């Protein structure tokens, strides 16, 4: 169950002065105001930076409360959690800075969401804190940004439609990124580099990262080999060349955990994978090979100390990102194709109206936090959930009504 005690705030944004934190804060301010129906605050370690952020919102933000807390200060984190029903955290890489806040939320029964894509860290948090979260009532929901809400909710939507139209879920679902205009966030790149560094030093971790069920409960496994695109490949359904999608490594794990937490609603032998469309003909094929080679070079260089510093010079750093105009001009279009066990097919699409890593992520994260604070029933058990398994249709309404996403059936046959 959720917190039974009365709190000062419905929601607190921790790490509000980070790049994504500022986007999120602006979104919440523009959408929900200050001192109105939703009680919320911003938090971080620097009072001067928090005040600067508040001033940037204008005079009507003067009453927006501030909370001082450092990611490494357990006492301050505990005090912050005791004041609110929900914490949204943007402080990453989470494998380096995230555990103390998760521990504080679990101790105090405070709901929590973030935008991590670090599967190895999620696994550790589930192993260390799942039982305590169930006892305290804290609902922990990782991966509430571009990784992995469009994928997780996209599969949830497709399966809902398949059940309505065909009377059964799809046993196999493939997601294809048709187009995504935007930049990687510095925080995302830092997290990816940290994963590469950890994996290079730990053979056990490398094996875990190759396991599509790595964050599922131990009893949830499949006898069916999971697809996993490693190089350039031609897709007959969409008649285009494909390349590996870098976010697929986390998105596939989240989708499988959602299936497990919904009692294998998609089927015990459900298969899922993700890839990027690179185009048709020779141009598309060359692009697929180029992307495959580029990803391999990035992870190899990130894993080795002598070349890691060189990579860091050419990628966005945490706290860096595109300006407001670039965020607004970004968008994405994801296509899902699902097939039932008896061969029926459904194609759906998910679109977003901002760049995926910043503008859209900020809105999705904000609505996930609001959904936790306002929509999830009080008797919903604590534990480590996913967006689809806990927030489901209530989040879908918020994503389409406020966050600029659309979900649509394109074709059935």
pLDDT digits (tens, 9 = 90+) for 296-335: 777 676 666 666 656 566 555 666 676 777 677 789 999 9
Distance CA 334, CA 108 (A): 38
Query: What's the Cα-to-Cα distance from 168 to each of 265, 267, 269, 342, 392, rounded to whole Å?
Result: 10, 10, 14, 10, 18
How many Cα atoms are found within 13 Å in the side-chain-facing hemisphere of 218?
1
pLDDT score, position 72: 96
Query: What's the Cα-to-Cα distance from 319 to each of 16, 72, 93, 185, 192, rounded to whole Å?
Result: 11, 19, 12, 8, 15
Residue 214 in this model has a pLDDT that exceeds 80: yes
Alpha-helical regions (H) of 57-98: 74-81, 94-97
**pTM of the full structure:** 0.93
pLDDT (tens digit, 9 = 90+) per residue, 177-207? 999 987 666 666 666 677 777 767 777 777 7
pLDDT score, position 323: 72
Q: State what percent of residues in the chain have pLDDT above 70.
A: 89
The whole-number average pLDDT for the span 329-357 is 95
Residue 109, Ramachandran bin (φ over 0: left; ψ between -120 and 50: alpha; else beta) = left
pLDDT score, position 313: 62
Tell me what the pLDDT averaged over the chain comes to.
91
Distance CA 109, CA 85 (A): 8
pLDDT score, position 93: 87
């Amino acid at each position: 169950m959720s917190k039974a005690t009365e709190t000062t705030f419905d929601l607190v944004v921790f790490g509000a002065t980070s790049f994504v934190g500022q986007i999120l804060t602006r979104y919440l301010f523009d959408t929900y105001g200050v001192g109105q129906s939703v009680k919320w605050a911003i938090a971080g370690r620097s009072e001067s930076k928090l005040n600067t952020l508040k001033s940037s919102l204008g005079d009507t933000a003067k009453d927006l409360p501030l909370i001082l807390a450092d990611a490494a200060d357990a006492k301050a984190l505990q005090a912050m959690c005791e004041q609110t029903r929900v914490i949204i955290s943007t402080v990453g890489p989470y494998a380096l800075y995230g555990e103390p806040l998760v521990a504080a939320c679990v101790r105090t029964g405070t709901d929590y969401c973030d935008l991590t894509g670090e599967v190895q860290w999620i696994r550790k948090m589930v192993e260390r804190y799942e039982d305590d979260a169930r006892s305290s009532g804290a609902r922990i929901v990782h991966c509430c940004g571009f990784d992995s809400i469009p994928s997780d909710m996209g599969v949830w939507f497709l399966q809902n439609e398949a059940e309505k139209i065909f009377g059964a879920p799809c046993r196999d679902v493939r997601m294809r990124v048709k187009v995504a205009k935007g930049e990687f966030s510095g925080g995302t790149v830092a997290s990816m580099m940290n994963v590469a560094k950890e994996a290079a030093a730990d053979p056990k971790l490398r094996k875990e990262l190759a396991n599509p069920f790595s964050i599922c409960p131990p009893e949830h496994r499949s006898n069916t080999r999971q697809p996993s695109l490693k190089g350039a490949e031609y897709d007959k359904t969409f008649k285009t060349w494909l390349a590996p999608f870098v976010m697929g490594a986390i998105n596939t794990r989240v989708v499988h955990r959602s299936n497990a937490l919904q009692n294998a609603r998609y089927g015990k032998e459900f298969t899922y994978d993700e890839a990027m469309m690179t185009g048709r003909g020779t141009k598309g094929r060359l692009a697929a090979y180029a992307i495959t080679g580029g990803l391999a070079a990035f992870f190899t260089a990130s894993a080795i100390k002598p070349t890691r510093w060189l990579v860091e010079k050419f990628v966005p750093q945490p706290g860096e990102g595109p300006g407001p105009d670039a965020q607004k001009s970004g968008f994405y279009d994801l296509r899902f194709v699902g097939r039932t066990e008896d061969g029926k097919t459904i194609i759906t699409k998910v679109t977003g109206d901002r760049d995926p890593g910043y503008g859209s992520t900020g809105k999705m994260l904000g609505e996930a936090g609001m959904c936790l604070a306002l929509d999830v029933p009080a008797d919903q058990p604590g534990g480590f959930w996913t967006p689809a398994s806990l927030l489901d249709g209530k989040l879908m309404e918020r994503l389409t009504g406020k966050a600029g996403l659309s979900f649509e059936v394109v074709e059935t046959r």
